[in-house]
Structure 1
Amino acid sequence: MCYYFNYLTHITKPAMKPFLILQSRPEDLASQNEFDSMLTFGNLKKKDVRRVRMEREGMPKINLRDYSGVIVGGGPNNVSDPEKKKNASQKKFERGLMKLLNEIVKKDFPYFGACYGFGTVIKNAGGNVSKKQYSENAGPVTIKIRAEAADDKLMRGLPKSFRAFVGHKEACFRLPKGAVWLAESAQCPYQMVRIKQNIYAAQFHPELDACEFCVRVDVYKNYGYFDPKDAEKLKKKAMREKITTPMEILRRFTEFYGS
């Protein structure tokens, strides 16, 4: 008896390469909160990522060919601070991060940076980041999508404006040459940018909903992002927000580059 073997039904799709998540928050609660939120809103499981806490581990040797993309989160560090003001941990991991960003920018490798991850790639690609202007206290703001974003793969079809959580002491005041300006807010013009075709950076937090934002308020109450006396008021205000579009942008990134 002959048996017909259907080869097509036995072709398995190659496993997705993991995303590399690079974090720099020294506060354990905030770091775990950020990581869990990235998994949740990026529609990722732990097996889909490699997590590196740069402030503890430094920057390990990274072969970009092993990953679908790189995601860099935020934290209390500022890339625009003078070297003498940076602690030893930041100096060490930032050197490694900048070296990796050199390769990412050169190869146009899929990247999504938020807050600190925004500032580092902007600076690396030739833009300017400073504390002199465009900082925003912690809280919700309205982000407006610019016309340049109409055909962008992560932005097309989104509402023309949306709410997002921010909180940053430094900001971009000059974009890298050739960067595409995707979104802005009233106080901070450069809220989202694309460099080349595959490198994205957001000043706002795509991993934060109201509950996660309240955790950050508790952790960073005395870090200068807002008046500590306003912490409870800030949390109550946050809980009235229904924020979804920033998470959709993060999900689109992982879906597009992880498929």
Structure 2
Amino acid sequence: MPSAIRVLLIQARRLPEIERQEQQCFLECGRLRPDQLRCVNVTRDALHPDLLDGIDAVLLGGSGEFSATERYPWTESLQTLLLGAADRNLPMFGSCWGHQTLAVTFGSEVRRDPDHAEFGSGEVALAEAGRHDPVFRYLPDRFRVNMGHRDRVVALPPGGIELARNAQPFQAFRLTDRPIYGTQFHSELNARRLRERLQAYRDLYIDVLGPEGFRQAMQAATTPEADELVYRFLCTYTAHR
């Protein structure tokens, strides 16, 4: 990966400590220096096309407080920014809320589905397309991931290809004609970082999962294969920039 690349991280965070933690997570999993990461938070920052100037790739983080099923004062400007990034052929990778936001922006549906919520560590399997994808083909047929979501993508956007699934479809997808990827699981969270995230939203997760469910979610597993995805994505799609 070129040492001079610049990456834009789009966040939707109200808690300052989690905003900073998420930035650190992407620095770690992308093997980036702090000066390579430009951050914008949709909850307070103006979203305008100039944010894409000098940028080689766009990452979208998760969100413990917002849903891709809802519209907010910043939703339209965020979607305009993402469509503008696609027009510039910028590689994009979304994690959890970012995955759902990319799916909605490019024409699919996301649904609030608490009956199929996933928290803690789980396993997903490569779809056939994943075995041939330039980013996912390095993964084993089944691999561990860290998760935390109540919303899910229920249909692929036009031109979407499923890359991974478990009992739920579309755990990962990409667009056929553009370097745009999403993972429902948190590709930026290793076991330690997942426990930090769960602890930060402890009251919310105990309300959703109950005390025993929260305890189980805190027993996060190591996810070495998934931990490589953001780095492989950046290596694959920024080497020529």
TM-score, scaled to structure 2: 0.89
Q: Report the equivalent of 2:56.
A: 68
Instruction: Map 1:96-115 to 2 at 5 A.
Output: 96-115=77-96
Matches of 2:48 and 2:157, distance apart in 1: 27
CA distances 1:123-160 after superposition (whole Å, capped 9, x unpaired)? 11111111147742311110101111222110113111
CA shift, 1:25, in A, is: 1.3
1:9 equivalent in structure 2:
none
> Which residue of structure 2 lines up, in the alignment, with residue 170 of structure 1?
151
Instruction: Work out whether residues 49 and 81 of structure 2, in 8 Å CA contact, stay in contact via their aligned partners in 1.
Output: no
Q: Which residue is equivalent to 2:173?
A: 193
Of stretches 20-29 and 102-111 in structure 1, the one that deviates more from structure 2 is 102-111
C-alpha displacement at 1:61, in angstroms?
3.8
> Sequence identity, in percent?
25
Which structure 2 residues correspond to residues 24-39 of structure 1 after superposition, within 5 A?
A: 24-39=12-27
Q: How does 1:228-239 map to 2 (within 5 A)?
A: 228-230=210-212, 231-235=214-218, 237-238=219-220
* Cα separation, partners in 2 of 1:54 and 1:119, compared to 1, 3 Å: same
Aligned to 2:209: 227
- Aligned match of 1:244: 224
Q: Which residue of 1 aligns with 2:67?
A: 78
Alpha-carbon distance, 1:60 to partner = 4.0
Q: Is this contact kept in 1: 2:121–2:217, CA < 8 A?
A: no
Instruction: Name the counterpart of 1:4.
Output: none
Give 1:6's aligned residue: none
- The unaligned stretches of length 5 or more in structure 2 are none
Measured at CA, do residues 35 and 101 of structure 1 come closer, stay the same or move farther in structure 2, by a change above 3 Å? same
1:107 Cα deviation from its structure 2 partner: 4.5
Q: Deviations over 1:110-132 (max 9, x none)?
A: 00011111111101111111114
Residue identity opposite 1:58 in structure 2: A
Task: Note if 1:42 corresponds to 2:30.
Answer: yes
Offset of residue 106 of structure 1: 4.1
State how far apart, in whole Å, the 2-side matches of 1:220 and 1:15 are: 35
RMSD value, Cα: 2.0
- Does residue 117 of structure 2 align to residue 136 of structure 1? yes
Q: Which has the larger radius of gyration?
A: 1
Structure-2 separation of matches of 1:103 and 1:95: 12
- Report the Cα distance in structure 1 between the residues aligned to 2:136 and 2:170, rounded to whole angstroms: 15
